[in-house]
Amino acid sequence: MDGILPLWKEKGYTSHDCVSKARGMLKTRKIGHTGTLDPDVEGVLPLCVGKATKIVPFLTDTEKVYEAVITLGSSTETEDATGEVVEQKPVLDEIPVSKIQSVLKSFTGEITQVPPMYSAVKVKGKRLYQYAREGIEVDRPDRKVTIKTIELLEKQFPVKSERLSIPIRVVCSKGTYIRTLCVDIGRELGFPAHMSTLVRLQTGAIRQNDCFTFDQVQYYVDLKRQEDLLLPLSKGLEHMPSLQISEQEKQAILHGQVLPKPKEVTASEFSIICNHEVIAMYQVHPTKPDKIKPIRVF
């Protein structure tokens, strides 16, 4: 089996749990996921099966679409609803929608984030969440991420409430911590905040309506129609440029040859397609700009 299983991850599973469960259901060991989702988060989690595991880095490096709820009035140690409350400040006055929209707009474009202590980022060879569980605070390297858009999903809010929930939709680059984004937005609004819910609606070109739950996967497995679950490799690479080649040129590509750079190639990395099938990933040669060389050959 070779292709992308567009899984709808349900709450309660880690991304590793999903890989393990899919391996058992599909009876194959060669499966990899394309970006972690926390256990309390549901949403699109593409699993690469067979040859598709070779495109994991390219599918991981894609835009993501999320819907989240920012809860003003309290912050937590984990920046989401699972952690202990560390600060509270009731929202006693109405916050104008115009102010919320203005603050959201200020977070679009390239921003700097400091990863939360409860995250898998490594510092000195150790995961941040391991330090956090030991009660050790360490300096965390900041990172640049890009917020393409933030949309406010609700335009009316209660006049007074100890906690105020603000639903948003975010289109962002890989590596964005939505938890941290929610906390930072709350801070700009003058309140401690945390992310109370999160759903991932899209990874690259793979959307919610492409996805299967584990119950649906089992249904196809029982019918011995596992192949019908899989998307082609090309679906996971739609965000990248591609080069169409003829059948006559195919063998040189499959042998991973370094070739003259075609005039139509303008990107540094691109997929190569023959007869509607992705057969390789190539790049412009790093030291010979008039040549192209393979990254992955399928």
Catalytic residue positions, numbered: 38
Give the separation between CA 37 and CA 14, rounded to whole angstroms: 7
**What single letter denotes the amino acid at residue 290?**
D
Phi-psi map region of 259: left, alpha, beta (phi>0 left; psi -120 to 50 alpha): beta
Q: What are phi and psi of 132, to 5 degrees?
A: -60, -40
Closest to 58 (Cα-Cα) out of 259, 247, 233, 261: 233
What does the angle CA 15 – CA 29 – CA 202 come to, to the nearest 5 degrees? 35
Two structure tokens written together for 63? 């835009």
Greatest C-alpha distance within the chain:
71
Q: Which of 269, 289, 211 has its CA nearest to residue 55?
A: 269
Question: How crowded is the C-beta side of 212, counted as CA atoms within 13 Å?
Answer: 20
Pairing type for strands 164-172 and 64-72 reads: antiparallel
End-to-end CA distance of the chain: 13
DSSP string, 51-90: GGGGGHHHHHSS-EEEEEEEEETEEETTSBTTSPEEEE--
Q: In this structure, are residues 283 and 297 in contact, taking their beta carbons and an 8 Å threshold?
A: no
